Amino acid sequence: MIELFFVFLIFGLLGVVLLSMNALLGPRRTNPNKEKPFECGSPYLQNEIKPFSVKFYLVAFLFLLFDIEVVFFFPWALIFKQMKESALLIMLAYVIVLVVGFVYAWKKGAFEWD
């Protein structure tokens, strides 16, 4: 584990050094126009963050469900060769449950982007 500690330390320090280099070595010239948000040259009307599509929220939800299911596959795959047929039957049942959920989400239109 000592390796991991040193890796985190060294890479973290490198990141901090790279981040602070501009502040230490760069110039500091600012003016009010520079501080405006970038918007293709036109003056901006509102600078608060706009609401965004609910689709992104849905994707996050689907990811949460399916990624947890992916995690369950890993320990099973590791001992698959030792467990033989029983492992296959167990996982077939699991995959069927997963597929039912997947087809349901599909039919409900969760994967449609129109």
59 binds another protein (CB under 8 A): yes
SS3 content of the chain, % helix, strand, coil (to 5): 65, 0, 35
Options 54, 60, 86, 107; binder of another protein; rule CB under 8 A? 60
What angle in degrees, to the nearest 10, is found between the helix axes of 54-78 and 85-107? 170
Q: Which helix (H) or strand (E) holds 70?
A: helix 54-78
Nearest distance from residue 96's CB to another protein, in Å?
10
Angstrom distance (rounded) from CA 51 to CA 49? 7
Residues between 28 and 57 with contacts to another protein, criterion CB under 8 A = 28-30, 34-39, 47-50, 52, 55-56
DSSP, collapsed to helix, strand or coil, labels residue 64 as helix
Note the residues at the interface with another protein (CB under 8 A): 2-4, 6-8, 10-12, 14-16, 18-19, 21-23, 25-30, 34-39, 47-50, 52, 55-56, 59-60, 62-63, 66-67, 70-71, 73-74, 77-82, 84-85, 87-88, 91-92, 95, 98-99, 102, 106, 111-114
